[in-house]
Amino acid sequence: MAWAVRAPRSTLLAPSVWQGPRNRKALALTFDDGPSESTPELLSLLAEHQAKATFFVIGTNVERLPEVARQIVAAGHDIGNHTYTHSPLYLRHAQFIADELGLCQQAIWNATGVAADYFRPPYGCRWFGLRSAQQAYQLQGIMWSAIGLDWKLSGAAIAPRLRKAARNGAILCLHDGRERRQQPDIRSTLEAARVLLPQLRAEGYDLVTISDLLCPTQHSNA
């Protein structure tokens, strides 16, 4: 049961992807829990290094900062569903899970005019009923190949951790917010990005959205 709920590679409770194709020198950076007041700084860093990413946003944060959600989309990044309140889905009724996905989907649409195609569960934990909710909202689950632990590690520790995990098709997980907190401290994430982005670029990686990673025949260089 623990494997089914938490393991990034598990698809027992809902369909999900943790790794993209390995035949192309590309990987996907993903950021959870935003948007936050610091997301624009991260967007500037990504633009500086010609990198695209995927942002899994919390619906209530989108409602609080709709203009930042619009900046994410306008910059050419993917925006994904990370539930409405970031409440854990495990031990919850199927209707609660469906509501969390549906309300977030609506918040994203209201702010940006975009329907999210991808979903990441809070804390990476899935539960019974998620499969049908994802199907109802046509959401593909996305997990990760490696996670930065940037809510507790320093930038100096995060960058080498993710650099070690970098490989063709990798999906790397960081956070541009800290759950639903206002004005969250994401300095460690920004510090790690300043180190990691030029390293990955120097090694020849295309830094792409989840859409581009999973649909290589349609991709364009980031």
Written as one string, the DSSP assignment of 106-130 is HHHHHHHS----EE--GGG---TTH
pLDDT recorded at residue 50: 96
Distance from C-alpha of 78 to C-alpha of 95, rounded to nearest angstrom: 27
Q: Write the DSSP symbol of residue 163.
A: H
Separation of CA 2 from chain center: 22
In contact, 146 and 165? CB cutoff 8 Å: yes
The closest of 9, 1, 35 to 141, measured between CA atoms, is 9
What pLDDT score does 10 carry?
94
Q: How far is CA 38 from the centre of its chain?
A: 16
Whether the pLDDT of residue 201 is over 80: the answer is yes
Catalytically active residues are 32, 175
Model confidence at 220, pLDDT cuts 50, 70, 90, reads very low
Residue 219: pLDDT above 80? no
Cβ atoms 178, 33 nearer than 8 A: yes
pTM as predicted: 0.95
- The pLDDT of 134-160, averaged and rounded, is 97
Residue range 7-15: average pLDDT? 94
Q: How confident is the model at residue 215 (pLDDT cuts 50, 70, 90)?
A: confident
Q: For residue 156, what pLDDT is reported?
A: 95
Mean pLDDT of 27-51: 98
The third-level CATH classification (topology) of the domain covering 2-218 is TIM Barrel (3.20.20)
What is the mean predicted confidence (pLDDT) over 30-50?
A: 98
Which H/E stretch holds residue 174?
Answer: strand 171-175
What is the rounded average pLDDT of the residues 3-24?
94
Contact 56, 107 (CB under 8 A): no
pLDDT score at 221: 41
pLDDT at 216 over 90: no
Whether residue 211 contacts residue 21, with contact meaning beta carbons closer than 8 Å, is answered with no
Strand partners, 47: none
Query: If you average pLDDT over residues 110-133, what whole number do you get?
Result: 97
Mean pLDDT of the chain: 95
| pLDDT, position 43 | 98
Range 48-56 average pLDDT? 98
Q: Are 177 and 58 in contact (CB under 8 A)?
A: yes
pLDDT at 117: 98
> Running DSSP on this structure, what letter comes out for residue 19?
B
- Identify the bridge partners of residue 57 per DSSP, sorted by sequence position: 34, 81
Instruction: Give the mean model confidence (pLDDT) for residues 196-205.
Output: 97
Task: For residue 105, give every residue at least 6 positions away whose Cβ sits within 8 Å of its Cβ, in sequence order, or none.
Answer: 59, 81, 115, 116, 137, 139
